[in-house]
Structure formats: C-alpha cells, structure tokens
Amino acid sequence: MPRVEAVELRRLRLPLRSPFRSAHGAHGDKDVLVVRVLGAGAEGWGECAALAQPTYTSEYTGGAQQVLREHLIPRLLRGAGEVAGGDIGGQEVAGVLAGVKGHPMAKAALEMAVLDAELRDCGVSLAERLGGTRTSVQAGVALGMASTVAEVVTAAEAFVAEGYRRVKLKIAPGWDVSPVTAVRAALGTAAAVQVDANGAYAGAGLEPLGELDRLGLALIEQPLAPRDLRGHAQLAGRLRTPLCLDESIEGVADAEVALDLGACSIVNIKPGRCGGLFEAVRVHDLCMDRRVPVWCGGMLETGIGRAANLALASLPGFSLPGDLSASDRYFDEDLTEPFVLQDGCLWVPTGPGLGVEPAPEALARFTTSVELIG
C-alpha cells in the first residue's frame, strides 16, 4: 500500500456535446474537479461528482475544492503521518475524514483516489475489490428537458437505435405528461422508460404524477423533497408505478429509514452522494437483503468517475440499467479512453484500480488550474 505524500487538485472544463437541462438548471460545459494522490512511486485518481453550482445539492465544484484543500487533504496527510509506515488504504479514508461534517462528494473523490492508488499497487481491480460479479452492465441514457416534445422524442428514438435499453426523462411541472406520453408511445416496447423529477413536485400539484402512473413507466424517481420520506410513502401508496429515491439516500441509515417507511421500492445509488464507494456498497448490501432493486446514478462524469460507477454497478444487486452511458453521450473527447456502447452494455474495467487513467493530452487541453498540496 503506497504512502500518501501529496495530493493534486486539478480543475478542468470539458465541453458537453449538447446542453443538459433538468429541474436544477442547465449545464453547458462540465466543470470537473479531479483529485490525484501521489506517494512512494504510486498514484491514484478520483473525480468529484459535484456540479458547478449548488443546485443539485449544497456541494459545488469550487466549494469542494476549498474543503479538500483546507480541511480534508490536511487531515488525510496528517493521518498518514500518524500510522505505521504512513499507509492509509481506501477503506480507512472515511474514518480519517469523519471529523469534517458533510461534504460527501469531496470526501468520495479523495477516497476514490486513495483506493485507486492502493489497488494499483497490489494489482487488483476496483470491481474485484468491491465484490463485483459482472463483466459488463446494461447502459441507460438520461435526457434533459428540451425545447419541444418533438425534440425529446427524436433524441429518445436515436439513443434506442444506438442500443440503449432504458431511457430516463427529466420532468418538472409544465414539462411532464406531454413529453413522457409522446416518448412512451414512440418507443413502445423497445426500451424501458422512467422519469426523474429531482424533487420538483415539492409543494406543487401531484395530478401530473397520477397521469404518468397510467403510462406503464419503469419508475418515478424523487418526485418530492429529499427529506420528505413520509410524503413519498403516502404517494407510493397511491401509485402503481414504483417510486425510486435518489437525493433522499445519502447513506445506509437513510436507505433503512426510507425502506422501513415504504417511501420507495427502488433505490438509485450514487457513490458521490453517499460519501464514497464503501458506503455505496453498504446501501447495496442493505437493499440486497431487503430484495430491493438498485441502479447506479450518474452525474455527467468523465471516464474517471464513469469507471468507478461501472465497477460499483457490477455488484449483483444492480439489477436495473443505470445512468451509465457511453462517453460520446456527453463528450466529443473524454479524459480517458472512451467507454463505448456494445450490445446495449458497457464493459467493466478489469485493470488494476479504476482500470483507466486520464490521457496527458486531454489533461493539457482541458485543465484550467492545478494546485499541489503536501
């Protein structure tokens, strides 16, 4: 296990192939924060899932960089200096950082980088370390809100023609029944269709959800506010369509309460939102025990974060296609070797650690700032 001696924080700006719009706002370029740990001839990479603005959660890219620089990285380096040999493995990172409250996406990025370095050092893939059982996972595609219904129908048909087996539509009051009905009719049985409200119906009329309930959707994701578990439980009792929770689930404790209340019957697991891969695995294990299907959500990640998500999604409980699209869904050029859709699936990296690393040319082209700590 290599000793962590320094940490590099790198900001990059990657152009998205097209703007992505949800209830949280529109995204043009992707503001990316990459973490690289260095030490004893080894290195490891991680990616922070936070978005440029604090609209999805309270975390945002600039804030994550600040808390990493001023609080998390110093604790990691200090912790490395206090253990024999200076070795901290990925599984110890959460405990070392526990004194800092919140900031799960920043913590998850640092954990990912340390774990990548550890696994590269011992020649083990991330999927193997987490307990993955699949060599490939079913891919899904998420479509943002469009200018017209015809536009979103055309996009959905094109992605299904490429081989995607599941289409997720972002919805909000005023953009729900018409586009979803049109896409559902256009796709027929060619692909599963589900919707994601990102909490947009908190305080709004729920009549559109009743109309969507008649369309045979795979699930309705996060219609109400993240903390409104009782509201979700009441809504779940009135709908035939399964309810899925995303923003509500920040760890295994949240998942247990939500399932006990009947607030959902499907869980979207995002390692960044859970504070790291190991906590995400614990949520997976709980849902496996409760026989609750799970799937892996996405945050417009580059190939670094996508590789980690694929490793997680290779675990046996991930029975539904997630937000794990090919690189060209979002980027003309990814930071890593591109992930390519094959027969509706993406292959899980098998190399040591994440199994991928950023290309030097891509780093040089897209980097906007670099700072080294330690």
Exactly one of 30, 107, 168, 170 is catalytic; name it.
Answer: 170
Strand duo 136-138 + 141-143: pairing: unpaired
Alpha-carbon 257 to chain mean position? 22
Q: At what angle do helices 277-290 and 90-97 cross, to 10 degrees?
A: 100
Residue with tokens 């192939």: 17
β-strand partners of 345 = 138, 342
d(CA 86, CA 241): 51
Which of the 8 DSSP states describes residue 327?
A: G
- 229 contacts: CB under 8 Å, gap ≥ 6: 248, 257, 258, 261, 263
Exactly one of 30, 107, 168, 270 is catalytic; name it.
Answer: 270
CA torsion through residues 322, 27, 210, 221, sign? positive
Q: Is 168 a catalytic residue?
A: no
- 330 contacts: CB under 8 Å, gap ≥ 6: 16, 17, 20, 30, 300
- 356 phi, psi to nearest 5 deg: -140, 160
Q: Which of 308, 297, 326, 281 is nearest to 45 (CA)?
A: 308
Alpha-carbon 83 to chain mean position? 32
Q: Are 206 and 228 in contact (CB under 8 A)?
A: no
- What is the DSSP code string of 163-216? T-SEEEEE-BTTBSHHHHHHHHHHHTTSSEEEEE-TTTTTTS--HHHHHHTTS-
CB neighbours of residue 58 within 10 Å: 11
Q: Is 270 a catalytic residue?
A: yes
Q: Are 148 and 179 in contact (CB under 8 A)?
A: no
Which of helix, strand or coil describes residue 25? strand
**Catalytic positions, written as ranges:** 170, 270
